[in-house]
Amino acid sequence: MSLWRRPAQLPAALFVMAVTLGAGVTAQSTGKKAVGASASVSDDAEFARLVKGWTTRPEFSSPLVDHLPKVAGIPSPKDILGHHIGEPKKLTYYADILKYYRALAAATPRVKVTSIGKSNEGRDLVVVFVGGDESIRNLESYRKYLAQLADPRKITAARAAEIVAKAKPIYHLSGGLHSGEVGPSEMLMELAYRVATEDSTLVRQIRDNVIVSITPVADPDGRDRNVDWYYKYGINETEGRATGAGVPYWGKYVFHDDNRDINYSQIEMRALLDWYLQWHPPIMHDLHQAQTLLYTFSGQAPQNPNLDPILFAELPMMANFEMAQLSKYGMPGVWTHGYVDMWSPGYLAFMSSNHNGMIRMYEIQGFSGANTQKMRLGNPNAAPAAGGRGGPSAASGQAPGPDAAAITAGRSNQAQREWFRPWPATGEFDWSLRNNTNYGETGVLTALQYTAAFPKVILENFYQKSRNSVDTGRKETVAGYLIPGGQRDATRVAVLVNMLRMQGIEVGRSTGEVKLKEGTFPAGSYVVKRDQPYARLAKILLEKQVFPADPNLRTYDDASWTMGLMSHTDVKEIADKAVLDVAVEPVAEVKLAGTVTGAGSTVAIPHYGSNNMVTLRFRLKDLKVQAAEKEFKQGDITFPAGSFIVSGDLAKVRSAIEALGLTAVALPAAPSVPMHDLDVPRVAMYSTWGNTQDVGWVRYAFDTFEIPFDLIYKDRVRQGNLKSAYDVIVIAHQSGGGKRLVFDIESRGTPIAYKKSEAFKYLGMYGESDDITGGMGIEGVAELDKFVKAGGVLVTLGAASFFPAEFGLTPKVDAARTSAQFYSPGAIIDAEILQPEHPIFYGYDKKLVPVRYANGPLLSVQTGANPFGDAPPAGPPPIPQGVLMRYPGGDDHVLSGLMRGANEIRNRPAIIDQTSGKGRVILFAGNPCYRWQNFGEFNMLFNTLLNYNDIKSEPQKPATKDNPAR
Ligand SMILES: [Zn+2]
């Protein structure tokens, strides 16, 4: 019989046909609309009628979602929200979404809402459970079963089989991670209601065999801001009359990168991780919007080889089932493969794969609002779009993943039939929010159908993957990792260990000296043994990333993230199996207690590169703090250049040092080395309105390390007089070159305001403007130039360093771009410090340091040599004035990840210091504050702030006949 209708609802004739055809009844053979249209006393007739009207073509719906039960006493979304899900021009604010789930939970024992924390702006973060009465009543038992399967060391295989027989998989669904992808958060309310109330065979099976858990909105702060923006601007958009700008902020800091937050810096992502480690859902499914019409992730190449082979087989299995089922229902445009790969472990739902579960992901066709809009799909005979983000490039003969720009521009190849896209959507049609709901909900119900059909397989696989993780850790070459005790800066070691612990990775502290083939390490070293359930994740995070040697392979996001290199922390890969038996005490969390030894009225704090040094300076902002310009010794302690010397209010100094986990020595007198005052700078951070995300990561770092700053925009820059207000202006990496930074969002004549009002109370946060278009313009450039010439320090990071070069603030600096052949999605490479005593490098003790390559400008400084003259003399080229750090370049200096064409960056400056008038511009070609990852580089930026008025520049070399000035 039909799976999606209970027999009682079918008219007799259709029921006979359905029974005859069996569960595999097809839309085409029966006419699914006939099935779907069958009236039922217990179905909501109004829903069926309205939803049919909102669905722009019959094939954009399915018999799973064209009806909705009406149950006395249980509120449907309409009963609470006032409208059915998917009504054009209707989006739901987060408070109303919560209101709905809570009303549903209050009305049925099949739904339960649990709080898991608060968002940055104080909204309740929840997980909603939906399942059979028994499942929800015994949730805690089911939680424990999964926790037992997650750690196979504690149970026998026989016991595991017993647990599998009793357990149920939790299938976690998450919407609204990206606030402009609005549909899934609407759809999930209807799904929850349907799973709780519908009496079809399909839904009953789901309810009996699966526990559904839901993150209604992963970024609720962004949701409300985006809904505000939609009601203010989007709702009035018609074809050919778009607003011209999206809302400048979603969440507080990182916009779209909440799906790249590999170290769970953002509070919302961290809350979900904490929940995950309690509940262990074997499947986590993120619902996004981007692709035509529904893309279902199946983990294409490049695949991280550390993950279990079972996973790589499970993913396409489920994706193919969805593709087949939706095709059966007559829904075109469902595809898999060819888009996102399985390389970076930093996507949010990867928390599941990283812990032996399964990440799943959809990209459903949709818009950032709820208007019905025209879609024009590409020509099926057109050549594949070039320059995909994931998988093989077009050159390999396989279709590349189309990029978002190509899709919007209608250049996508998604109209093409492929082995992974058996029925592409083509042509021109209207697309509505309800279409999005229909596709998303049909897909999810189908995924749940699969899970309900094979619940034991899912659970066995979860157990087996966990067990394999422990076993392979015992067998494979890498037996563990050791983080030696006694490293110069203990604070970054603590950060690293705590990040591993946060992800559930077991870390032990050695009780005695550790003797291994790799060396002898002191007691107190941290040991990560690979015979543990999350050993795969430990290896993924700690090892060097070796990208597959396929010259055509590209990756969707970062190619590398090696934590030791990113944090400049020594991490040893250990092959000696003896590491598995090293005596350790388990580490819950590293809490460093700082110390002040010695006696005296002057406290010296050695600068070992701790990021807490900058925090200390700001916590002691009322005290005089100096930096030693040369190394000095006190007893057997060496204080490197940059060490802090503080006097006055010793109690305050001591407690600040202790709280920050730093070490210090009280001295009878100040050391006799040259010193300069670390004046507290007045800092501004400049942001465009069109690109707030990378600024957000730097803001997050500044907030976390307690660096006060003003976030300023074009209006403040144009106002001028910047030097009277600020000592340092930081322009964070913002994609695009100098022109984009200066001209930003193009004005279309009508101002676009980002301001709080009675009606739109979530706008105007983190800055406001009557018009976010137009950029700082040339007037703004002139003001920044005046700021520098008057003595200010302008710091540009990554792609923002195109700006001073292209707009003449640093006339001797040129900024070029890499060639089309160059490709480096975030490699970790060597950088060479050329002026070790420069204040920017306080705390760094090596000449070569690992840095993340940011695809910023290829900088150069004119040396004055005649560019049209003779060939340059033999031997190494001279280092131009002001170049503080450079990239040695070449393949030998790629430490982790992927860089094709590494010779292109050979000897290119990584940091340049240029004087201008009384001030200076410091250009970073890289991004020293990237996505809460490259902690080892943060200090170069922090040192720049603290030493802003003590940076010394070598005098210009006079022009000579051989070295002409320009
Ligand atoms: Zn998304």
DSSP 802-857: HHHHHTTSSTTEEEE---TT-B-SS-EEEEEES-TTSGGGTT---SEEEEE-----
Q: Is the pLDDT of residue 169 over 60?
A: yes
Give residue 220's pLDDT.
Answer: 98
| Residues belonging to the chain | 966
Average pLDDT on 791-816 reads: 98
What DSSP letter does each residue of 738-775 carry, written as one string? Answer: HHHHHH-SPP-SS---B---SS-TTSSTTS-BS---S-
Give residue 390's pLDDT.
Answer: 47
Element of type H or E holding 219: none
Cα of 258 vs centre of ligand 1, distance in Å, is: 10
Average pLDDT on 245-251 reads: 95
Cα of 361 vs centre of ligand 1, distance in Å, is: 9
User: How sure is the predictor about 377, in pLDDT bands with cuts at 50, 70 and 90?
Assistant: confident
Cα of 12 vs centre of ligand 1, distance in Å, is: 44
Give residue 877's pLDDT.
Answer: 66
Rounded to whole angstroms, the Cα distance separating 261 from 269 reads 8
Residue 415, CA distances (Å) to 274, 386, 443, 962 in order: 41, 15, 20, 61
Rounded to whole angstroms, the Cα distance separating 555 from 142 reads 37
Lowest-pLDDT range of 1-10, 280-289, 464-473, 837-846: 1-10
Element of type H or E holding 39: none
Residue pointed to by tokens 């802090």:
644
pLDDT tens-digit readout, 658-694: 999 999 999 999 999 999 999 999 999 999 999 999 9
Average pLDDT on 575-594 reads: 98
What is the distance, to the nearest Å, from the Cα of residue 297 to the centroid of all Cα atoms in its chain?
Answer: 18
Q: Is the pLDDT of residue 19 over 50?
A: no
For the chain, percent of residues with pLDDT exceeding 90: 85
Residue pointed to by tokens 């990561």:
697
Q: Is the pLDDT of residue 520 over 60?
A: yes
Rounded to whole angstroms, the Cα distance separating 397 from 771 reads 46
Q: Is the pLDDT of residue 416 over 90?
A: no
Contact partners, residue 251, CB within 8 Å, separation at least 6: 119, 120, 179, 219, 221, 222, 258, 266, 268
User: How sure is the predictor about 60, in pLDDT bands with cuts at 50, 70 and 90?
Assistant: very high
CA angle 45, 50, 53 (to 5 degrees): 130
Cα of 365 vs centre of ligand 1, distance in Å, is: 11
Q: Tokens for 117? A: 């924390």
Give residue 425's pLDDT.
Answer: 93
Give residue 874's pLDDT.
Answer: 60
Closest by Cα among 196, 174, 177, 178 to 77: 196
pLDDT tens-digit readout, 686-731: 999 999 999 999 999 999 999 999 999 999 999 999 999 999 999 9
Cα of 346 vs centre of ligand 1, distance in Å, is: 14
Cα of 164 vs centre of ligand 1, distance in Å, is: 34
Q: Pairing state of beta strands 170-174 and 211-215?
A: parallel
Cα of 223 vs centre of ligand 1, distance in Å, is: 13
Contact 379, 98 (CB under 8 A): no
Per the DSSP assignment, residues forming a β-bridge with 909 are: 886
pLDDT tens-digit readout, 946-963: 999 999 865 444 444 443
Cα of 181 vs centre of ligand 1, distance in Å, is: 6
Mean pLDDT value across the chain: 91
Cα of 557 vs centre of ligand 1, distance in Å, is: 13
Closest by Cα among 683, 687, 650 to 665: 650
Cα of 175 vs centre of ligand 1, distance in Å, is: 9
Considering 536-540, 635-639, 864-868, the range whose residues carry the highest mean pLDDT is 536-540
Cα of 798 vs centre of ligand 1, distance in Å, is: 25
Cα of 259 vs centre of ligand 1, distance in Å, is: 8
Cα of 178 vs centre of ligand 1, distance in Å, is: 5
Cα of 364 vs centre of ligand 1, distance in Å, is: 9
Cα of 859 vs centre of ligand 1, distance in Å, is: 33
Q: Helix 220-232 and helix 94-107: axis angle, to 10°? A: 120
Cα of 220 vs centre of ligand 1, distance in Å, is: 14
Give residue 148's pLDDT.
Answer: 98
Give residue 964's pLDDT.
Answer: 38
Contact 306, 265 (CB under 8 A): no
User: How sure is the predictor about 146, in pLDDT bands with cuts at 50, 70 and 90?
Assistant: very high
User: How sure is the predictor about 300, in pLDDT bands with cuts at 50, 70 and 90?
Assistant: very high
Cα of 426 vs centre of ligand 1, distance in Å, is: 23
Contact 659, 685 (CB under 8 A): no
Cα of 290 vs centre of ligand 1, distance in Å, is: 7
Residue pointed to by tokens 């067990």:
467
215 half-sphere exposure, CB direction, 13 A CA radius: 31
Label residue 743 exposed, middle or buried (CB < 10 Å: 0-12, 13-18, 19+): buried
Residue pointed to by tokens 């801001």:
225
Give residue 57's pLDDT.
Answer: 97
User: How sure is the predictor about 6, in pLDDT bands with cuts at 50, 70 and 90?
Assistant: very low
Q: What is the three-class DSSP state of 364?
A: strand
User: How sure is the predictor about 632, in pLDDT bands with cuts at 50, 70 and 90?
Assistant: very high
Label residue 868 exposed, middle or buried (CB < 10 Å: 0-12, 13-18, 19+): exposed
Cα of 183 vs centre of ligand 1, distance in Å, is: 11
Give residue 238's pLDDT.
Answer: 80
Cα of 214 vs centre of ligand 1, distance in Å, is: 17
Residue 228, CA distances (Å) to 143, 249, 360, 773 in order: 37, 11, 30, 18
pLDDT tens-digit readout, 897-909: 999 999 999 999 9
Cα of 742 vs centre of ligand 1, distance in Å, is: 28
Cα of 269 vs centre of ligand 1, distance in Å, is: 14
For the chain, percent of residues with pLDDT exceeding 70: 89
pLDDT tens-digit readout, 29-47: 333 333 333 334 489 999 9
Contact 174, 126 (CB under 8 A): no
Cα of 693 vs centre of ligand 1, distance in Å, is: 14
Q: Is the pLDDT of residue 598 over 70?
A: yes
Cα of 177 vs centre of ligand 1, distance in Å, is: 7
Lowest-pLDDT range of 222-226, 499-503, 880-884, 933-937: 880-884
User: How sure is the predictor about 473, in pLDDT bands with cuts at 50, 70 and 90?
Assistant: confident
Cα of 243 vs centre of ligand 1, distance in Å, is: 21
Give residue 42's pLDDT.
Answer: 87
Cα of 179 vs centre of ligand 1, distance in Å, is: 8
Q: Is the pLDDT of residue 808 over 50?
A: yes
